[in-house]
A and B are shown apart, each in its own frame.
Chain A
Amino acid sequence: MPSTGKSKEKALLHGREYIGVDKIDGPLIFIRNTHPVGYRELVECVDAKGAVRLGIVLETSKEMVVAQIFEGTSGLTMPDTRVRFSGEPLTISVSEEMLGRVFNGLGHPIDGGAPPRGDLEMDANGMAINPTARQYPRDFIQTGISTIDGMNTLIRGQKLPIFSGNGLPHNELAAQIARQSKIRGSDTGFAVVFAAMGVKHDVARFFTRSFEESGVLENVALFLSLADDPSIERLITPRTALTLAEYLAFERDMHVLVIMTDMTNYCESLREISTIRGEIPSRKGYPGYLYSDLAELYERSGMIKEHKGSITSLPILTMPNDDISHPIPDLSGYITEGQIVFEREMDGRGIYPPIAGLPSLSRLMKDGIGEGMTREDHPHLASQLFAAYSYVKDVRNLASVIGEEELTPLDHIYLDFGKEFEQRFVSQRKDEDRSIEQTLDIGWEVLRVLPVEELHRITEEEIEKFYGK
């Protein structure tokens, strides 16, 4: 432990203010000849007009300190910029009062109100959850959306991203999930923490209005770093939001739904910083640590033993050029517990939500459905719908080559099934909230298009009880 004399000395050093920086490059500032500055320390940077901007130390050595400034470096001059090092990592002051408010990426209110009273100062970077402290998530969340509830079930504490594309209705779906989500048999809703990174003003307004209309706004905290805010602010926005989420979930026993949009913008800011620092890139210019960095965000969701709260996260990302093998969706898919994938072709045919049946997946589904959780027929029904729909895709490919007339009678039945499945099961209104029973019943109705011999994945009892109904 450092002696009191030493800590006093440290405190004095941290009060020190340096006038003038040696280099400014994009959002980074470089300062020579400082006292020993800690890695990831919080930096306060005062511009010529006296406005304070925050940043953190990215690299420190005896000769030079590199810091990134979240509010951007626009307007800073080399001689007149004053820099203070706080000696502490970036912390966020959090409290329950933050629900119902709007903040910028650093957690400062931008809705005109006074800063909320802080209850706890928490490190924005978070820490790794001990895997032995985690509680394996298995509580079914009813989103009221058939393709999700029935085929890609969302579980409390899961991280399930939406892989979308430009112009697809991912915002509508996220808002619908936020409005409709509930745990069966409990009336407590979710608190929503919303982090917007580089999204347009109208998107932010869409979400605010959607929360307002459904009357849940007092349960929502919004962190907005919009398209015209400095791109560097996007790097801190999800961390600020997740810090509040951790506080609400694990200190205040609340169930929190975190919506982060758009992760693609976040990753691009990360690439920007990496390039300015001259780091060796890996794929498509993204830094080699993109995976670790995304994991730091995604892995903050979950449930903890002996704690009542939970963090369920729903990151949204737009796949550049609809390419699922692009580094951002690819690395995300390796960290998250499944993915909801949008298909442009379905959207073009007017199907909402345009969730692609086959590439979408919920890894935690298996433990959260079935008897006692949803309904006993759910696992086999979902598996059968997957198998049949997969066959439909094959038949459609075949039909596009040899023509529909050449198909066997059975294949024609499958085509009818595919149509029914997409029109009745997948497709629903943007305000339609289906219970899990309704979803499963529709599933059976659709399956009845197929002859009973085709149902390989369903037991005879289930056929008797549900198919024959």
Chain B
Amino acid sequence: MKNDRIIGQVKRVNGPVIEVMGITDAMMYELVRVSDENLIGEIIKLENETAIVQVYENTTGIAPGDPVYGAGIELSLELGPGMIGTIYDGIQRPLEEIRKISEIYIERGISVPSLNRDTKWHFIPTAKAGERITGGAILGTVQETERIKHKILVPPEERGVIESIVAEGEYTVEEPIAIIRRGEETKELTLMHRWPIRVSRPVKQRLPLDLPLITGQRVLDTLFPVAKGGTVAIPGGFGTGKTMAQQAIAKWCDADIIVYIGCGERGNEITDVLTEFPKLVDPRTGRSLMERTILIANTSNMPVSAREASIYTGITMAEYYRDQGFHVAVMADSTSRWAEALRELSGRMEEMPAEEGFPAYLPTKIAEFYERAGYMETLSDRTGSVTIIGAVSPPGGDFSEPVTQHTKRFIRCFWALDRGLANARHYPAISWLESYSEYLGEMSVWWEEQVSPAWQQDRAEIMELLHREVRLQQVVKLVGPDALPDTQRFVLDVCSLFKNSFLQQNSYDKIDMFSVPQKQVKMLHIIVTYWLRGSEAIKRGATLVKLRKMKVYQDIIKMKFTVPNDDLSHLDTIEARLERSLSQLESVYA
């Protein structure tokens, strides 16, 4: 970079961490470039005349004495139209553009602007000259994709009077679109602005969380709902389906925008998202899912320090769209890799470790990250939310390790993945015993008003039953199921019906891959009815075999596959038939 000043020389290289000497005016978290290869780095510690820099690229060949250039700004993102549908690395370099320069591999020192400089965007101004504006105000709009109308925001720290604003027309992200005056100073604004990744963007105030984020996954929406603006952790050992769950939510949840952070995970998983998402159609808008998705890919073999940054890059982008009034869901897969990156860098800096080699500031960092979620009133008086869904990969699947434990302190919804369920190919393998949601109380209002008044009661009924089943299973383990009376065997029967035909969801089936809330509620109600009326019948002398022989039983098993989301009338038919069959049965034993 031409304008960069030399801030010092390399003193020592230890993997991605380098020591720089001869520092006079460097700034904390300043963006730097190392050696004439232009490797991107960030200052993370300053002490006397030395600085510690973490380098976001492979440091092979960097030698003591190499110059270090400072950019004079903190490591920041370019925020503006053109991010949706793009795949970035951990420090917002567009990977498709990099591929044009370096075909297969990500070579070092490639410098590509984050937002395309040549694309012309159709800008429609909404603010007028002479208006007094503050940070976060909306200057106008740009149709970014068919479904996302991007609002052009005044950078949060700017304010003043609009001296001039351009007419509707085509502009690149660098061309000035407005000039604002504040006292004697004037400032040109463009379609994009920069924001440091480690600083959360300001808002007017936090709002209570009372809207659910509908994921379309029955076990989540019905049993453990999350609010828009909430925080969730999905922990699970390898092979329990974390990524599958994350991808299913990214596909079908009702957020406006998805930021999917592949943090230290497999390259092919990112490729999978890249090939699959453009082909999938969002059921709510009929548009490709890629038109609402931003991908951040820092695969496990990419430099570890960029992995640390990728989480902040993702959340900053999410906040930027939230400030425009969108509901954004951030999928972070996996926060454990991020924590491990912190550990690795901390080790390289020879810091004193706390638990299992993790630095003592790990809980602070986790808390800072999850606190950036929320349902907010923005500076421009709109409302928007950032929901964080973070996967956690505990070593050995043991939830007592530091990352899972500290994460649990700062999230309010816990979707625990269970190895036993995954081994039995019960997907999503979310344990109904270990998971919880603290949003339940807030969510039940919405469900009862918008969907069905029976929701809370039915849900409580089935949860109680699932817990009863656990105790019964312990008895079965000792004496076998035959020794139980029919009333108790019926509990086992209903639970296995509920697990097979409600909790299990096939993400490859065209109908079953997501369920609208109305379908979930009706399915739940049918099963609860079967339980309540069925146990009545058994008390009167009906046998379990008779109940299971009812023709409607087979329909209940298959209802998740047979009833499409846009026509739920068949569920009413099933319910009516169930009522009828049960009445017939009861009349026999009356």
Contact = CB atoms under 8 A, between A and B. Distances in A.
A292 B13 contact: no
Contacts of B268: 134, 136-137, 157, 302, 337, 364
Given A302-B267, A383-B425, A398-B477, A89 B482 contact: no
Nearest to B238: A333
A271 to B, nearest CB: 13
A402 interface: yes
A401 B473 CA distance: 13
A243 to B, nearest CB: 13
Nearest to A341: B239
A402 B484 CA distance: 14
B340 A288 contact: yes
Given A39-B59, A299-B301, A330 B395 contact: yes
B395 A407 contact: no
A125 B60 contact: yes
Interface string A277-303: 001111100011101100110111010
A299 B480 contact: no
Interface stretch (B104-112, B248-256, B320-328, B515-523): B104-112
A307 B36 CA distance: 32
Interface in B376-399: 393, 395-398
Nearest to B424: A390
Of B13, B103, B398, B477, which is in contact with the most chain A CB atoms at under 10 Å from its CB?
B13
A30 B508 CA distance: 57
A162 B11 CA distance: 43
Interface string A342-368: 000000000000000011010110100
A295 B301 contact: yes
Contacts of A359: 239, 423
Contacts of B275: 136
A452 interface: no
A140 to B, nearest CB: 16
Interface stretch (B93-101, B135-143, B443-451, B539-547): B93-101
A10 B195 CA distance: 40
Given A250-B104, A281-B357, A131 B508 contact: no
Contact of B61 (A40, A307, A326): A40
Given A128-B302, A456-B557, A60 B95 contact: no
A443 to B, nearest CB: 15
Contacts of A335: 266, 300
Contacts of A20: none
B103 A133 contact: yes
A338 B239 contact: yes
Given A130-B95, A358-B424, A36 B87 contact: no
Contacts of A137: 268
B425 A134 contact: no
A370 to B, nearest CB: 10
A71 interface: no
Contacts of A282: 343, 356-357
A135 B238 CA distance: 23
Nearest to B12: A61
Contact of A280 (B19, B65, B353): B353
Contacts of A397: 477
Interface in B384-428: 393, 395-398, 423-425
Nearest to A335: B300
A408 interface: yes
Contacts of B98: 130
B60 A40 contact: yes
B480 A288 contact: no
B300 A89 contact: no
B59 A299 contact: no
Given A62-B64, A401-B478, A291 B337 contact: yes
A37 B301 contact: no
B160 interface: no
Contacts of A281: 357
B63 A36 contact: yes
Contacts of B423: 358-359, 390
Contact of B99 (A2, A130, A250): A130
Given A62-B64, A330-B238, A127 B19 contact: no
A127 B106 contact: yes
B59 A330 contact: no
B261 to A, nearest CB: 13
A300 B165 CA distance: 51
Nearest to B96: A132
A204 B65 CA distance: 46
A295 B301 CA distance: 5
Contacts of B500: 456
A48 interface: no
Of B275, B299, B477, which is in contact with the most chain A CB atoms at under 10 Å from its CB?
B299
Nearest to A359: B423
A89 B357 contact: no
B105 A402 contact: no
B238 A60 contact: no
Interface string B126-139: 00000000000000
B61 A398 contact: no
B438 interface: no
A102 to B, nearest CB: 28
A339 interface: yes
Contact of B304 (A292, A366, A387, A406): A292
B102 interface: yes
A51 interface: no
Contacts of B397: 325
Interface string A64-93: 000000000000000000000000010000
A406 B480 contact: yes
Of B301, B304, B423, B500, which is in contact with the most chain A CB atoms at under 10 Å from its CB?
B301
Interface in B199-228: none
A334 interface: yes
Contact of A299 (B267, B272, B340, B393): B267
B82 interface: no
A335 B269 CA distance: 11
A116 interface: no
Contact of A130 (B61, B102, B340, B425): B102
Contacts of A62: 11-12, 64-65
B58 interface: yes
Nearest to B272: A136
A402 B272 contact: no
A386 interface: yes
B66 A36 contact: yes
Contacts of A299: 266-267, 299-301
A100 interface: no
Interface in B479-519: 479-482, 500, 508
Pairs of residues from A and B, 10 with the lowest C-beta to C-beta distance, nearest first: A325-B396, A61-B12, A295-B300, A127-B105, A333-B238, A299-B301, A36-B63, A282-B357, A358-B423, A131-B270
Interface of B: 11-15, 19, 36, 58-66, 87, 95-96, 98-99, 102-107, 237-239, 262, 264, 266-268, 270-272, 274-275, 297, 299-304, 337, 340, 343-344, 347, 350, 353, 356-357, 393, 395-398, 423-425, 476-482, 500, 508, 557
Given A131-B262, A300-B301, 12 more contacts: A38-B61, A61-B64, A128-B106, A131-B87, A131-B299, A132-B87, A136-B275, A279-B347, A295-B299, A304-B104, A330-B237, A402-B479
Interface of A: 1-2, 36-41, 59-62, 89, 125-137, 157, 250, 279-283, 287-289, 291-292, 295-296, 298-300, 302, 304, 307, 324-327, 330-331, 333-335, 337-339, 358-359, 361, 363-364, 366, 383, 386-387, 390, 397-398, 401-402, 406-408, 456
19 contacts: A2-B36, A38-B63, A39-B60, A39-B61, A41-B61, A59-B14, A129-B104, A131-B95, A279-B347, A288-B357, A291-B340, A298-B300, A299-B300, A333-B238, A333-B239, A387-B424, A390-B425, A398-B476, A402-B479
